[in-house]
Amino acid sequence: MDTSTSMAATGASLPIVTARLLLRRLVAEDAAAVTRLVNDYSVAGNLARVPFPYREQLAQEWIASAGAQIDSKDAYHLAITRDGALVGCIGLTLRRNALPEIGYWIGRKFWGQGLAREAAAALLDWAQTELGLVEVEADVLTDNLASQAVLRHLGFVESGSGVQQFLSRNRKMPVLMFRRVAEPPKPPAPKPVLLVVACALVDSDGRILLAQRPKGKQLEGLWEFPGGKLNDGETPEAALIRELREELSIETQESCLSPLFFASHAYEKFHLLMPLYICRKWQGRVTSAEGQALAWVRPEKLADYPMPPADVPLVALLRDFL
């Protein structure tokens, strides 16, 4: 499989941060710690490409090549650190005629703490987000039950078996091959639809009433058409009659309300659907019953009043209508 089209990311998006770990580029100063941790047969014996004993000169050469591979986008071999100390390494190799391959090791003194699982999960998530990689392979010795458990926990499934040359053991060893297909990103949860109703009250001079949202409310200080939410079982007309009574101390009838336009706008937490009615006839004197500021505005001046995003498209429509 040719995966070259997915190799778009660079090391610019590094490091990778988890709850306990920092996955970062290896630096020359890591050579001593890498040598100390890998020069342990319980670690090196599980790594196919690492000779044993392991010398610091090899660590220095590998660290230099790891940096070059990140720059060339061929592989991402990273240090796994915890509280500033190197505890292991992890890598993702991008192979042009095969699936990408993940590998990792943890120093023996840090085993049993779930660090390999945490680091691998973070790198896989990073690879899917930054590189667009969906399928990843791994292989592990048949007797390395701990690493097999890590892979299975991460969603890898066994895909075959084979033999592989292990430099640390100077012979071929049986391995199990694993493959992981990442789940597609979950679509965002649908936003609830909030239905509100609004009214363009037009007086005998052709002016339109706007009300200012009071302090302490969402979108405070902005100007809007009077109206509000529908109660359970209410029709838009009944809700608007009630809102005009409660907000402005006026009475009107359904026959005096004519639907004009509607607004449909996605806010951060909900989607607003707002029909706008026009009303030219009512009883009573318009009064601010809830303390909000009111303004009678000529159609050509509506744009001078800052309004919520959902109301803005209605201004031009209403101005042209009137």
Q: Report the CATH number that the domain containing residue 276 is assigned in CATH.
A: 3.90.79.10
Mean pLDDT score across all residues of the chain = 91
In a domain, 316, yes or no: yes
Which of 75, 181, 186, 185 is closest to 134 using CA atoms? 181
Whether 260 is covered by a domain: the verdict is yes
Q: Which residue has the tokens 């049993």?
A: 112
More confident residue, 319 or 144: 144
Report in angstroms the alpha-carbon separations of 18 from 21, 119, 166. 5, 8, 31
Query: What is the Cα–Cα distance from 175 to 147, expressed in whole angstroms?
Result: 12
CA distances from 100 to 1, 129, 177 (A): 10, 15, 13
Cβ(226)–Cβ(282) below 8 Å: no
User: Domain ends where: 181, 214, 232?
Assistant: 181
**SS3 for 306?**
coil
Question: Residue 16 corresponds to which amino acid?
Answer: I
- Does position 1 have pLDDT exceeding 50, yes or no? no
Q: Which residue has the higher pLDDT, 143 or 6?
A: 143
Asked if 15 and 163 sit in the same domain, the reply is yes
Higher pLDDT, 294 or 217: 294
The structure tokens listed for 103 are 């590998």
- Would residue 187 count as lying in a domain? no
Same-domain check for residues 209 and 172: no
Separation of alpha carbons 115 and 121, rounded Å: 10
Greater pLDDT, 11 or 15 = 15
Indicate which CATH number applies to the domain containing 44. Answer: 3.40.630.30
Counted domains in the chain? 2
Residue 10 has pLDDT above 90, yes or no: no
Q: Is 253 inside any structural domain? A: yes
Residue pair 263/273 in contact by the 8 Å Cβ criterion: yes
pLDDT at 121: 96
pLDDT of 233 > 50? The answer is: yes
Tell me: do 60 and 203 sit in the same domain. no
At residue 297, the pLDDT reads 94
Average the pLDDT over 185-199 and give the result. Answer: 88
Neighbours of 79 (CB within 10 A): 22
171 is a domain residue? yes
How many residues are recorded in the chain? 322
- Domain match, 165 and 219 both: no
Are 170 and 216 within one domain?
no
User: Residue 116: pLDDT above 50?
Assistant: yes
The residue out of 129, 151, 181 marking a domain boundary is: 181
Q: Are residues 106 and 133 in the same domain?
A: yes
Residues 211 and 304 in one domain: yes
Residue 301 above 80 pLDDT?
A: yes
- For the stretch 161-187, pLDDT in tens is 999 999 999 999 999 999 999 877 778
Whether 102 maps to a domain, the answer reads yes
Q: Are residues 76 and 135 in the same domain?
A: yes
Indicate the residue among 152, 181, 210 that finishes a domain: 181
**Which backbone phi and psi does 233 adopt, to 5 degrees?**
85, -5
User: Do 22 and 110 fall within a single domain?
Assistant: yes
Judgement on whether residues 64 and 197 belong to the same structural domain of the protein: no
pLDDT at 183: 79
> Would you say residue 293 has pLDDT above 50?
yes
Is 60 a member of any domain? Answer: yes
What percent of the chain clears pLDDT 70, i.e. is strictly above it?
A: 96
pLDDT confidence of residue 11 = 53
Burial 220-245 (b: 16+ CB within 10 A, else e): eebbbbbbbebeeebebbebbbebbe
Query: pLDDT tens-digit profile of 44-89?
Result: 999 999 999 999 999 999 999 999 999 999 999 999 999 999 999 9
**pLDDT given for residue 5 in this prediction:** 33
Which residue in 245, 267, 148 sits closest to 199, CA to CA? 245
Using CA atoms, how far apart are residues 298 and 63, in angstroms rounded to an integer? 72
Whether residues 217 and 106 fall in one domain: no
In this predicted model, what pLDDT tens digit does every residue of 235-284 receive, in sequence order?
Answer: 999 999 999 999 999 999 999 999 999 999 998 889 999 999 999 999 99
Q: What percent of the chain has pLDDT over 90?
A: 82
Tell me, yes or no, whether 201 and 102 share the same domain: no
Q: Give the integer Cα–Cα distance in Å for 126 and 136.
A: 12
pLDDT tens-digit map of 37-48 = 999 999 999 999
Give the range of the structural domain holding residue 239, as residue numbers without chain letter.
193-321
Q: Considering the domain boundaries, does residue 188 fall inside one?
A: no
What is the edge-to-edge ordering of all strands in the sheet holding 85-93?
Answer: 16-17, 22-25, 75-82, 85-93, 101-106, 135-141, 171-181, 157-166
Does pTM surpass 0.85?
no
